[in-house]
Amino acid sequence: MDRKSILALVLISAIVIGWMIYMSVSVKPVPEQEKYKTELTDSTTTDTTKNLNNQDTQKDSTPVGSDSTLTLQNKSDLEKLTKFGPFASFAEGTRNLITVETELTKIQFLNKGASIKRFVLKNYKKWDKTPTQLINNKNGELFITFRTNQGQIIDTRDLYFTTDFNQGSVKLGPKDSLLIPFILQVDSDSRIIKNIVIYGSSYQFREDIILENMEEYIPQRGYKLVWENGLTPQEQNSVDESNSSYAEVSMNGDLDDLSADEDGVQESYTGLIDFAGVKSKYFTAAIIPSPYKSFDGTVDLSGKSLLHKNEGKTNVYTVEFRIPYDGGRSEKFFNIYVGPLDYKIAKEYGLQGLVDLGWKYGIRQIGEYFMLPIFNLIHKFIHNYGISIILFAILIKFLLYPLSIGQMRSAKKMKLVAPLVAEAREKYKDDMTKQQQETMKIYQQYGINPAGGCLPLLLQMPILYALWSVLRSAIELRQAPFLLWINDLSVPDTIINFGFSFMGIKSLSGLALLMGATMFIQQKQTITDPRQKAMVYVMPVMLTLLFNSLPSGLNLYYFTFNLVSILMQIYINKFSKYQPTLEELKKAPKKEGWLAKKMREAQEIAAKQGRTVPGQKKPAPQIGTKKVNQAKPKRKK
Parallel, antiparallel or unpaired: strands 57-59 and 94-101: antiparallel
The mean per-residue pLDDT over the stretch 185-200 comes to 95
Whether 498 is covered by a domain: the verdict is yes
For position 159, what pLDDT does the model report? 95
For residue 134, the SS3 value is coil
Provide the CATH number for the domain around residue 300: 2.70.98.90
Angle (deg, nearest 10), helices 454-473 and 385-399: 160
Q: How confident is the model at residue 142 (pLDDT cuts 50, 70, 90)?
A: very high
Q: What is the pLDDT of residues 388-399, one digit of tens each?
A: 989 988 988 888
Mean pLDDT of the chain: 79
pLDDT tops 90 at residue 607: no
Residues 430 and 466 in one domain: yes
Residues 542 and 424 in one domain: yes
pLDDT tops 70 at residue 622: no
Domain membership of residue 551 as a residue range: 369-587
Whether 573 is covered by a domain: the verdict is yes
For position 578, what pLDDT does the model report? 66
pLDDT tops 90 at residue 143: yes
Q: How confident is the model at residue 569 (pLDDT cuts 50, 70, 90)?
A: confident
In the listed set 288, 323, 356, which residue is the last one of a domain according to the structure? 356
Please give the angle made by the CA atoms of 397, 403 and 405, to the nearest 5 degrees: 85
pLDDT tops 60 at residue 126: yes
Q: Which of 70-74, 218-222, 399-403, 495-499 has the lowest mean pLDDT?
A: 70-74
Q: How confident is the model at residue 140 (pLDDT cuts 50, 70, 90)?
A: confident
Residues 328 and 471 in one domain: no
Q: What is the pLDDT of residues 464-482, one digit of tens each?
A: 788 888 888 889 889 888 8
For residue 248, the SS3 value is strand
Residues 112 and 151 in one domain: yes
Q: Which of 63-77, 85-99, 325-339, 562-576 has the lowest mean pLDDT?
A: 63-77
At 283, the amino acid letter reads: F
Residue 444 or residue 559, greater confidence: 559
Residues 325 and 446 in one domain: no
Q: How confident is the model at residue 529 (pLDDT cuts 50, 70, 90)?
A: low
Residues 146 and 204 in one domain: yes
Q: How confident is the model at residue 14 (pLDDT cuts 50, 70, 90)?
A: low
In the listed set 587, 607, 631, which residue is the last one of a domain according to the structure? 587
Phi and psi based region of residue 622 (left: phi greater than 0; alpha: psi -120 to 50; beta: remaining): beta
Q: What is the pLDDT of residues 357-377, one digit of tens each?
A: 888 777 888 888 888 888 889
Whether 183 is covered by a domain: the verdict is yes
Compute the distance between CA of residue 139 and CA of residue 113 in angstroms, rounded to an integer: 9
The mean per-residue pLDDT over the stretch 122-141 comes to 91
Parallel, antiparallel or unpaired: strands 494-502 and 295-307: unpaired
Residues 291 and 254 in one domain: yes
Compute the distance between CA of residue 563 and CA of residue 519 in angstroms, rounded to an integer: 8
Q: Which among 169-183, 359-373, 400-414, 453-467 has the top mean pLDDT? A: 169-183
Residue 106 or residue 446, greater confidence: 106
Residues 343 and 382 in one domain: no
Q: Which among 273-277, 549-553, 568-572 has the top mean pLDDT? A: 273-277
Whether 424 is covered by a domain: the verdict is yes
pLDDT tops 60 at residue 350: yes
Percent of all residues in the chain with a pLDDT value above 70, rounded to a whole number? 74
For position 363, what pLDDT does the model report? 85
pLDDT tops 80 at residue 413: no
* pTM for the predicted model, two decimal places: 0.76
Residue in 83, 80, 78 with CA at minimum distance from that of residue 92:
80
Which residues partner with 225 through β-bridges?
144, 321
In the listed set 568, 587, 606, which residue is the last one of a domain according to the structure? 587
For position 132, what pLDDT does the model report? 95
Count of the separate structural domains present in the chain: 2
Residues 327 and 235 in one domain: yes
Whether 14 is covered by a domain: the verdict is no
pLDDT tops 70 at residue 28: no
Whether 185 is covered by a domain: the verdict is yes
Whether 72 is covered by a domain: the verdict is no
For position 154, what pLDDT does the model report? 93
Whether 349 is covered by a domain: the verdict is yes
Q: Which of 114-123, 306-315, 375-384 has the lowest mean pLDDT?
A: 306-315
CA distances from 523 to 420, 421, 458, 527 (A): 21, 19, 17, 6
Angle (deg, nearest 10), helices 401-427 and 385-399: 60
